[in-house]
Amino acid sequence: MKAKNCYSRRVVERRHRRLKRLEKVSYYSDSSSSSSDEDENELFTEFKHSTIATNNIFPTVSDDFISLNDYFADEHDNAQISNENTDDCCDKSPPLFAGSTLSVMKSMKLLMNFLATDVNLDKRNVIRLLKLLKSILPQPNLLPVTWKSIMKLFGHTNMSTTTFLCSSCYTKCGKATFNTKACKNATCSRSNVTLKTHEIVEIVNLDLRTQLKSIITRNFSLMSKNKDYFPNADIPNGRFHRTSVFESKCNVITLTLHTDGAPLIRTTKQSIWPLFASIVEIPPPVREYQKNIILLGLWSSKSKPDVNIFLKHAV
* Cβ(309)–Cβ(173) below 8 Å: no
pLDDT at residue 61, as a whole number: 39
pLDDT at residue 76, as a whole number: 43
pLDDT at residue 277, as a whole number: 93
- Flag residues of the chain having pLDDT under 50: 1-4, 32-86
pLDDT at residue 247, as a whole number: 65
pLDDT at residue 29, as a whole number: 52
pLDDT at residue 252, as a whole number: 79
Q: How far apart are CA 256 and CA 296, in angstroms?
A: 11
Helix 37-57, helix 59-67: angle, nearest 10: 100
52, 125, 146, 152, 185 from 121: Cα distances, Å: 49, 6, 15, 20, 41
pLDDT at residue 293, as a whole number: 93
* Cβ(102)–Cβ(95) below 8 Å: yes
Question: Strand, helix or coil at 111?
Answer: helix
* Cβ(131)–Cβ(146) below 8 Å: no
Supply angle C-alpha 274, 278, 284, rounded to 5. Answer: 135
In terms of Cα–Cα distance, which of 212, 174, 209, 210 is closest to 193? 174
How do the domains of the chain map onto residue ranges? 86-153, 202-314
pLDDT at residue 248, as a whole number: 67
Secondary structure (DSSP) of 152-172? HHTTPPPSEEEEEEETTT-PB
pLDDT at residue 196, as a whole number: 86
- Indicate left, alpha or beta for 99 from its phi (over 0: left) and psi (-120 to 50: alpha): left
Per DSSP, what are the bridge partners of residue 141?
97
Q: Give the pTM.
A: 0.53
Q: How far apart are CA 227 and CA 280, in angstroms?
A: 12
pLDDT at residue 276, as a whole number: 94
pLDDT at residue 295, as a whole number: 92
pLDDT at residue 292, as a whole number: 92
Handedness of CA 229, 235, 238, 240 (dihedral sign): negative
